[in-house]
Amino acid sequence: MVDIVTATQFHERGDRPDWRFLLGRILATFRAGSFDGAARFALEVAAAAEHAGHHPDVDIRYPGRVHVVLTTHAAGGKVTAADLALAGEISTLAAAHGLVSEPTTAQTCEVAIDVLDVEAVRPFWEAVLGYEPEPPSPRTGTVVGIVDPARIGPSFWFQQLDEPRPQRNRIHLDVTVPHDVAEERIAAAIAAGGTLRNAREARAFWTLADPEGNEVCICTWQDRD
């Protein structure tokens, strides 16, 4: 039986300090001294993954950063004990090679679209983006999310409206950050001219608006599971 790990369980453990739980995945970033060093570390990660029979997404960026994302494909993209085990091995490799962990740089972006009819709207976005539907929501039985099959572009999800809301924009961004970065990010946005629209759902999310009213939610794993 697959051992699923929730965001709360992951952060309560506290034994993977290099990693953060964002949108159903665990992520880590490591900084090498050079691009070549980053590439050599990525090869070490690949070898460890092959040995474990469990494979992460690995992204190398100039000048020498390596981003690693872990989920369990056989468990429908959930985080499992296998991910935690490989995360520990990757952190050990990074430390042995002198790489610097940058856990608070983790971020992933999700686009939320408010709609009156999810089933009518979602197929258009699947087609225009070349995305694939996520599994149906356990709560509603409706497919409310679509994802890039290459796992590169941001995911999209569709929020059901009860009635038209012409007074608000009907598209906003959800930016999910580590829980220990959220307040800093919100403060920076307000300092740059934004306003806090809604904190009722904090710490799951805070809704902010830019000077023209376009909205964005800063989201964390907290208060969700």
For the stretch 184-219, pLDDT in tens is 999 999 999 999 999 999 999 999 999 888 889 999
C-beta of residue 24 within 8 angstroms of C-beta of residue 77: yes
181 pLDDT higher than 80: yes
* Per-residue CA distances from 225 to 9, 10, 95, 114, 124 (Å): 9, 11, 32, 23, 31
What integer is the mean pLDDT of 164-175? 77
Mean predicted confidence (pLDDT) in 140-167:
86
Q: What is the mean pLDDT of residues 91-114?
A: 94
pLDDT band at 140 (very low <50, low <70, confident <90, very high): confident
pTM: 0.85
What is the pLDDT at residue 38? 98
Question: Do residues 195 and 209 touch, judged by C-beta distance below 8 A?
Answer: yes
Domains of the chain: 7-105 (3.30.1360.20), 108-219 (3.10.180.10)
Q: DSSP for 168-206? A: S-SEEEEEE--TTTHHHHHHHHHHTT-EEEE-TTTTTEE
Give CA–CA dist 198/107, Å, rounded.
21
Q: With 70 as the cut, is the pLDDT of residue 168 above it?
A: no
